[in-house]
Amino acid sequence: MIALTLAEISAAVGGELIAADDTLIISGTVETDSRLVTPGSIFFALRGEATDGKHFAAAAVENGASLVIADEPLELGDRSGGVAQIVVTDTLEAFADLARFVVAAVRLGGSLRVVGITGSNGKTTTKNMLRAVLEGEGPTVAPQGSYNNQVGAPYTMLKIEADTRFLVIEMGASAEGDIARTIGIVVPDISVVLKVGLAHSGEFGGIEVTQRAKAEIVTKLPAAAVAVLNADDHRVVAMAGQTAARPVWFGLDESADIRADDLRATGAGTAFTLIVGEQTRAVTLRILGEHHVMNALATIAVALELGVELDDAVARIQGVERAERWRMEVLRSADGIIVINDAYNASPDSMAAALKTLAQIIEPGQRSVAVLGEMNALGDVADEEHDRIGRLVVRLNIQKLIVIGHRARHIHNAAGLEGSWDGESVLVETEEEAWDLLRGELRAGDVVLVKSSNAAGLRHLGDRIAGVTT
């Protein structure tokens, strides 16, 4: 974080500084996890659903925290001498307030540009691509993993320094108003909407609500801002009428400003022809799956708006080795089995895209195997969407299907009902049962897709099949 005095921090969060010199300068990291605290850090004692950060404040001080921000004065242990405290009414609001102050200060004093990214799928991959592109231009801050909620977004913002040129923020949501709260902390210079799909539709209460929630990233943009929008998604297209910002379109549609043609998926990656006005470039992504082409197009659209040369943007995107750990991650076991470990998250759209990729990259002599678990947070459409995935597996001619868990059973049932299979689908209850079955079934040359929502925990099974130690 930028260097601030205790007086500035106290004013920014609207808190009361307890018995400390308000001229003292703090410049360490800002942490909500006491285990990540290092000497000089600020520790925010946030109240969570399962626990309260106040219980870990003494541990944060033990690890070297210089400042603790909590909603009441705390006993901080034997090493609390010289550790300042600021007491606030609401620690989560104070956390956002400090992020708002820091971003505003860096914007005022430098050339910081802020990019916000949302969408039902693809946020993390696009963020990683964009980080790879922008780091070649100057100091860039982007979230690690999927830090995209009301804690993760300001946490990322508080990583910036005075010389940061680019701040990339993932903006996730589980309800209307979530993205609006993040926009209340910082209004992006460029907002990206990748897709409106069924991911978490059960939490939202339907795809129409999802659309309204995602649109919050563009509705407050000023005329000087840019809205990078998916020309192939009619729900995203409608957002152009809800913003004063200038729209820039990406997609496969010929109307898009940044578009792709001639897509080709192989086991080595995904190739396509990039078209930007009169310019064309041959692009080969190392990331598997045609669906990642859309993420690349969005990245290039943002990069061009930020002044990056087209050839530089293309070269840097081509250098990205994987979307993220456990996201279309290709692993190879010592005995010749190829694993596509994509079990960090799952929605109907991403599940279908991963299965289509598996079908596309199989070469003669190889066998396709899908190991699938539950897709979470689909609400009333859960049974229907799991059923649809089971039928898709058969239609794509995936040669073996293993479904794990009672809540994913409709995948197995639908595959059996599709009519062209006889025993190719197996339903098991646990990851261990799946492992026992796979260990006896798999052979060299098999390509195994492991796909589920994060809560199902199948990412560890994918690593196990490939012989990767986690």
Kindly report the CATH number assigned to the domain that includes residue 37: 3.40.1390.10
In a domain, 102, yes or no: no
Return the pLDDT at 377: 80
Domain-ending residue, one of 271, 296, 318: 318
In a domain, 98, yes or no: no
Q: Looking at the structure, tell me whether residues 195 and 279 fall in a common domain.
A: yes
Q: Looking at the structure, tell me whether residues 294 and 333 fall in a common domain.
A: no
Q: Looking at the structure, tell me whether residues 253 and 361 fall in a common domain.
A: no
Q: Looking at the structure, tell me whether residues 354 and 409 fall in a common domain.
A: yes
Return the pLDDT at 23: 95
Return the pLDDT at 139: 97
How does 282-313 read in b/e, with b if 16+ C-beta sit within 10 Å? Answer: ebebbbbbbbbbbbbbbbbbbbbbbebebeeb
In a domain, 324, yes or no: no
How does strand 4-5 pair with strand 25-26? antiparallel
In a domain, 53, yes or no: yes
Domain-ending residue, one of 278, 296, 318: 318
Q: Looking at the structure, tell me whether residues 27 and 52 fall in a common domain.
A: yes
In a domain, 382, yes or no: yes
In a domain, 100, yes or no: no
Q: Looking at the structure, tell me whether residues 159 and 188 fall in a common domain.
A: yes
Q: Looking at the structure, tell me whether residues 348 and 432 fall in a common domain.
A: yes
In a domain, 37, yes or no: yes
Q: Looking at the structure, tell me whether residues 442 and 350 fall in a common domain.
A: yes
We report the CATH number of the domain holding residue 419 as: 3.90.190.20
Q: Looking at the structure, tell me whether residues 216 and 243 fall in a common domain.
A: yes
Return the pLDDT at 232: 97
Number of domains in the chain: 3
Q: Looking at the structure, tell me whether residues 284 and 359 fall in a common domain.
A: no
- Mark the ranges of the chain whose per-residue pLDDT is less than 50: none
How does strand 258-266 pair with strand 246-251? parallel
Q: Looking at the structure, tell me whether residues 119 and 85 fall in a common domain.
A: no
User: Which domain range does residue 256 map to?
Assistant: 110-318
Q: Looking at the structure, tell me whether residues 295 and 388 fall in a common domain.
A: no
Return the pLDDT at 165: 97
Return the pLDDT at 321: 84
In a domain, 97, yes or no: no
We report the CATH number of the domain holding residue 123 as: 3.40.1190.10
| pLDDT digits 0-9 by tens, 35-94 | 999 999 999 999 887 789 999 999 999 999 999 999 999 988 766 677 999 999 999 999
Domain-ending residue, one of 299, 318, 337: 318
| pLDDT digits 0-9 by tens, 320-347 | 987 778 788 999 999 999 999 999 888 8
